[in-house]
Amino acid sequence: MQIEICYLCIIKLLVLKKVYLDNNATTPCDPRVVEAMLPYFYEHPGNAASRSHPFGWEAEDAVDIARQQIAELIGADEKEIIFTSGATEADNLALKGVFEMYSRKGNHIITATTEHKAVLDSCKKLEKLGAEITYLEVGSDGRVDLATLEAAIRPTTIVLSIMWANNETGVIQPIKEIGDICAKHGILFMSDATQAVGKIPVNPRENGVHLMAFSAHKMYGPKGVGALYVSRKDPRVKVTAQMDGGGHERGMRSGTLNVPGIVGFGKAAEIARLEMAKDAERVSKMRDRLELGLKNALEEVYINGNREHRMPHVTNMSFKHVEGEGLMMTFNQNIALSSGSACTSASLEPSYVLVALGLGDDLAHSSLRFSLGRFNTEEDVDFAIKSITEGVNHMRNLSPIWEMYKDGVDLNSIQWEAH
């Protein structure tokens, strides 16, 4: 067989600058994490549940160390860490496990419309099994209203699930205040903290959080491993296992532990604990530089979501009268990021998170999510400002709507005709 080599493609690959600004989708694995993991593929192949030989003991010891590193990052006891395959599984285990375990107390769950699909779809499934769900709306800044939240609590409420920080906007919820309300009413507080752990200080106990989901690959660890924090005292929380088998993880999650993955997760947690403050400062400066650069270069640019209570590495911006997916095509060979449109089946739907903030379909479709990370540089940011400015100008120059806007036509007064 003859393999044709496309020299042009190779040259393109070599010289094309590629900038990764999609760290909320997943982060690169830190090389120090990879190095820590490697011995656990071949040199130490044991199953952490094999109690009868040194290979098993070595694996168990490695898992214990990782559990400690992760517990230390979030101020928990290591017995409160249940390993899972990721945050999706942890969200499922928390909600479905609590619903099953506490069914005698009630069947009502409170969550918000801007939660991750792993939470929303778990709630939808539970509705079919007899749960009653309240989906709280959020304000235009993306935060839940505490009075509305408290008013939604019923005698049958068992758990409230509100994420720590949103994956699309970076908006941080008033976690401590929500924790106080849950404590006052004696209900469980579950939080999906996948976007917050490892990037800002997160301590479930100090904030009244009883169950908390997070994931290694959002904090410079490997994909396919995550954890559910389950409070062991005041209150001692139990969840019904959703996976039946060998009774691993104190009976809450059966399945052979992903030893290399867990070792990497632990190393990522240790690095985060030591370097989080420095990383956050550096990354937030780059984020501010990006926002300022784009706002200075372009008209009609909007930042979505609360700007004060926001993750340091995220900005979600709308470029009015520019369609985000089309805009991305002007630079997506060079810059990786996400738009405010989601492909559901054949159509392009505006992001449900941005719609929940009250953005019209047009502003939601014209948005881009930039999520910076540990491995980005100022050079990356300047390259993004330049490419996106060019892309927006290009799209607007082709757009009759932009022309009308520039001519001072009131676009709301136009009756659009559907074809």
Ligand X SMILES: *Cc1c(COP(=O)(O)O)cnc(C)c1O
Q: Considering only residues 92, 111, 167, 169, which one is a binding residue for ligand X as defined by CB under 6 A?
A: 167
Q: Does 310 bind ligand X (CB under 6 A)?
A: no
How far apart are CB 311 and ligand X at their closest, in Å? 11
Q: Considering only residues 67, 96, 108, 116, which one is a binding residue for ligand X as defined by CB under 6 A?
A: 116
How many C-beta atoms surround the C-beta of residue 52 within 10 A? 7
- Residue closer to ligand X (CB basis): 163 or 259: 163
**Cis geometry, peptide bond prior to residue 235 (ω within 30 degrees of 0):** yes
Cα–Cα distance between 116 and 38 in angstroms, integer?
32
Length of the chain: 419
Q: Does 131 bind ligand X (CB under 6 A)?
A: no
Q: Does 194 bind ligand X (CB under 6 A)?
A: yes
Beta strand 314-319 pairing with 301-303? antiparallel
Cα–Cα distance between 160 and 170 in angstroms, integer?
20
* Amino acid at residue number 274: L
182 part of the active site: no
- Residue closer to ligand X (CB basis): 116 or 205: 116
**Quick check: 315 and 23 in contact, CB under 8 A?**
no
Q: Which stretch binds ligand X (CB under 6 A): 28-36, 52-60, 213-221, 354-362?
A: 213-221
Q: Which stretch binds ligand X (CB under 6 A): 150-158, 171-179, 190-198, 401-409?
A: 190-198
How far apart are CB 40 and ligand X at their closest, in Å? 20
Sign of the alpha-carbon dihedral angle for 231, 222, 312, 370: negative
Cα–Cα distance between 207 and 228 in angstroms, integer?
16
Q: Does 226 bind ligand X (CB under 6 A)?
A: yes
Q: Considering only residues 82, 153, 158, 163, which one is a binding residue for ligand X as defined by CB under 6 A?
A: 163
Alpha helix ranges (H) inside 41-196:
54-73, 87-101, 117-128, 146-151, 175-185
Binders of ligand X: how many residues, by CB under 6 A? 14
List the x/- string, 47-86, binding to ligand X by CB under 6 A. ---------------------------------------x
- Residue closer to ligand X (CB basis): 162 or 385: 162
Structure tokens at 405: 């806007």
How many C-beta atoms surround the C-beta of residue 349 within 10 A? 15
Which residues are near ligand X by CB under 6 A?
Answer: 86-88, 116, 118, 163, 167, 192, 194-195, 215, 217-218, 226
